[in-house]
Structures are given as C-alpha cells and as structure tokens.
Chain A
Amino acid sequence: MTLVDETLGWLADPTHWQGPGGIPVRLAEHVGLSTASLLIALAIALPAGLWIGHTGRGAAFAVNLANLGRALPTLAVIGLVLPLTASLDPQLGFKVYPTLIAMVVLAVPVVLVNTYAGVAGVDRDLVEAGRGMGMDWRALVGRLEVPVALPVIAGGVRSAAVLVVATATIGAVFGSGGLGRFLVEGIAQNDDGMIFGGVVLVAGLAVLTELGFGAIQRALTPRGTG
C-alpha cells in the first residue's frame, strides 16, 4: 500500500512534471529515441527482408545473422560501441548514439525475419499467376507480395516497436536520457516512488505502443483474412 502511495505521490507531484529532468522531457526523449531507432531499423530491415523473401536468396544467412543480433545483450552492444561513438562526438556520441545503435541492433532482426517470412509465405500459385499475367518484379513485390504479406510485416514492426520502447530504458546506465533515468536515479537515490513512477510510465508507453501498432496492423489486414 505504501509503495502504491509513494508511486502515485511521485507521479502527482507537479515539480516532477517540469524542467529538463521532468517527466514530459524524459518522455519526449524516450519517444524520440525509440522512433529514430525504429525508423533506422525499418530502413535496413524492410528492403533486406523483401529482397530475401522475394528472391529466396540469402535466407539462411539472414536468419542466422538475425539470430546473432538477438543473442547480443543490449548492454554489451552499448558498451562496445560507446568508446567509438564517444570519440566521434563527445556529447551525442556518449549519451545518444550508443543506445540508438543498440536499439537498431535489437529491432532489425525482428522486422527482418517477419518481413522475410511474410513474403516467402505468399502462396507460390499467386506469384506464378502474377508472373503469367506479365507482372515484372516491381509489380510482383509492390502489388502482390507486400499487400498479401502486410499483416505479418506489420506484426514484426509492432513487436520491434514495443521491444525498443521497453528496452531503451537501459541506456540510462550510460547517461542516456529517456524514462530509464527515473529507474537508474531512483535506485541510486533510494527513492521507491521515482523507481515505480518510472516503471509505470515505461509500462504505460509500451502498452500504448502495442495498442497503437496493433490498430495499424488490423487496419492493414484485409477483411476476411488474418
């Protein structure tokens, strides 16, 4: 009961909603970092996944690479790239880029595997029919494979988005902004209200992300399928 009180008390305190370390700023940092890393991951994983799914070439390589990416602990990725990025830019290279790169590494495999599996899973009879109708590869991918595979692809994007929003908190250990600051500082400062206030905010954002992307995924799923 006291923990609930402390958490609600921390969240209700107006001083926690203002200034450079306040909830709105941390929330904006968190959403900004998550969005940027998701967009970069999509720019890498969508074309790669489409190409592999369409051609069937390099599938084993891509899946293994993706699994390797999943096996890398996020904290290790941050620790590995930090000395390099920090030498390029003392500020962003220390506080932003390492977490950003780690989030891209986290999101790419999820999007890649789903995109590949979605496209590769399109009924071969459909593809053959398309070819028979004289569709070139652009039309095959753009007007046939992608629309049919879209629910599966969107499912991958949704998983990746939720994963990134939840995991981006870890960057706070290395001075990154975002909602993770409340967890790291709350633990160090012995402030349960701050810790669990931060937990509530991160969990809430993850749930909203899940619901939002879920709605998008449903909208993209043709009626009568999925």
Chain B
Amino acid sequence: MRFSRALALGASMLALLSACSTGGGSTTIKIGSDGFDEARVMAEVYAQALEANGFTVDRAGIGLGGRKVTTPALESGQIDLKPEYIGSGLAYYDATKTTGDPAANRTALQAILDGKGGGITVLDYTPAQDTNAFVVRKETADQFTLAKLSDLTAVQDQLKWGLATDCPTNPVCAAALKSAYGIAPKDVTLLDACSTPMAQALAAKTVDVAELCSTSPEIIVNGWVRLEDDKATQPADNIAPIVRNDLLAKLDKTKFEKVLNDVSAKIDTATLAELYKEVTVDKKDAKDVAKAWLTANGFVK
C-alpha cells in the first residue's frame, strides 16, 4: 500500500517534470480570463492551441474575475495573456472612444495599451461578436409588443430590471440607457451580466428584462427575445487575445502570434455560441469543449 502510493507520487512528479520540459523553452505563458463561461472557454482554447505548438502555459489565472481584477493582473504581469472583449475592454479605459466598428475599437484599444504595463499587444480579433444584449421573455415581448430597446422607454416602470453589477457606473450601461433611450429603471436587481444567476432571474420572473450576452445560450434554449439596440449604444465586442510585450520578447513571437491568430480567424459567432453553450447548458468541462473544437478544426492532433 505504502509502496504503491510512493510509486504513484513518483510517477505523477515525473509526469509533471516532463510536462514542464516539453515545449518552447523555459518561458511559461500565464493565461488569465474573466469569470464567466465564454471567457473561460476562450482562454482554454488559447491554452491548448499554444500547448499543441510546444509552448508552456499556466492556467492559474483562468476565471480570475472581472476587469477590475484581470486588468491590474495583466498590467502588473501576474498574467501574460487574456481573451479580451475589445469594445468593452476599450470602454474600461475610455468609454468615449467605443464605436460599432471592431477595427476602430482595436486600433483605439491598442493605442491605450501601448502605454500600459510596459506595452500590451492586441492580436487579431475573432469574426465572432458578442454584444451586451437586453433580453425579455416571450410573453413579456408579446404583452408590451417589444422588439427594440426604444419600445421599453414607455413601459420601463412596469418592468423589473436585471442589470449588470457594474451598470450604475458603466458608461455603456446606465448612462447609455438614459441618454439614448430615456430609460432610468426604478426596480433594478444587480447581478453579473451573462451569468447563470442572471438567466435564472429572468426564467424565474424575478426580473422581466435581463442583461445577457448576445451569445448566451439561455436565450435560444428558453425562446427569449433579444431586443434590438436600435440606437446602437452597445460596443462591438469581438474577442482578441491581449498579451504583454515582455512575454512576446521572450519567445518565438511570429509563431506565437500565428497560432493565436489562426485560431481567432476560425471562431465566428455561431462557433462562439456553441462553445459557450456546451459549457453553460451541457455542463461540459471547458477543457474538453476546447479540445474537441481544436481537434475538429485541425489545431490539435
């Protein structure tokens, strides 16, 4: 008994050692991400694509938390890389610069990140877009004939609102709703946007309007109605890896960027929604979901 346990320990340590010694030299890429499932599965896709190309990654920062946590972590080098929503990421630094054009958002975000944490690079973004989505149940949409956000203005006080926890101070949330739509809801429950509790609150009728992600699988599964942002207040949120320049200097930059850019190019909105759904609704492990997709698309053998 004792012998076999010692053997197992030895074997696992060997496995650990060999895992450390394979790949692109001694540099470990510390990957981080936001806490919600879509960001976690994207981080896992990056991690496995990099590993398949001989890089060494550390996953400790995956699911770290919101931008309040991940931004200082990236700027200080506690993590080297994270999947970033370029519109919201830009709004975090300067909400006046966000547009509906992802290329312009990327350029503006890059200009800001050049001066952060010794320089941070925005790699290519996905064709996939995920935008903040204001969602109602089908019967609410029917009852008040709702199709777009401006339809909510007149009935805002008859509804209960589920908004993101950072909404009161987020320029593309409360401020945008008020200035573009004249919406300043009274009955508000603050929950994490795109989270399971937010979807549960809408399903349980705790709230009537919920702020989810356009890719949130619960919208399709429950037959909910996403209201059109007819005044175009929400930034275009394509996802791009953002990575510290000091890390890029330590490894084969061309190969590293090609691995991630090739992966990003393959992720369209339907793909992103599917990866997200498999984790959130089908309750699969993000690692398995990422691996299956990477294998199916030839990134991992």
- Chain A: residues with CB nearer than 8 A to chain B? 82-83, 86-87, 90-91, 93-95, 173-175, 181, 184-185, 187-191
CA distance A175 to B193 in the complex (A): 12
Whether A95 contacts B190 by the Cβ 8 Å rule is no
Whether B68 contacts A82 by the Cβ 8 Å rule is no
Contacts of A86 in B (CB 8 A): 200-201, 203-204, 206
Whether A174 contacts B66 by the Cβ 8 Å rule is no
Name the CB-closest residue of B to A88: B204
Name the CB-closest residue of B to A85: B204
Name the CB-closest residue of A to B196: A79
User: How far does the Cβ of B187 sit from chain A's closest Cβ, in whole Å?
Assistant: 10
Whether A90 contacts B204 by the Cβ 8 Å rule is yes
Name the CB-closest residue of B to A94: B206
- Chain B: residues with CB nearer than 8 A to chain A? 65-69, 162, 164-166, 168-170, 189-192, 197, 200-201, 203-206
Interchain residue pairs A-B with the least CB separation, the first 9: A86-B204, A188-B165, A188-B166, A94-B206, A90-B205, A189-B169, A175-B189, A190-B68, A90-B206
Q: List 26 A-B contacts (CB under 8 A).
A: A82-B197, A82-B200, A86-B200, A90-B205, A94-B189, A94-B201, A94-B204, A95-B206, A173-B197, A174-B191, A175-B189, A175-B190, A181-B190, A184-B165, A185-B168, A185-B190, A187-B65, A187-B66, A187-B68, A187-B69, A188-B66, A188-B68, A189-B168, A189-B170, A190-B68, A191-B169
CA distance A94 to B66 in the complex (A): 23
Whether A190 contacts B169 by the Cβ 8 Å rule is yes
User: How far does the Cβ of A96 sit from chain B's closest Cβ, in whole Å?
Assistant: 11
Output the residue of B68, B162, B190, B204 with the most chain A CB within 10 A.
Answer: B204
Name the CB-closest residue of B to A78: B197
Contacts of B67 in A (CB 8 A): 190
Whether B190 contacts A174 by the Cβ 8 Å rule is no
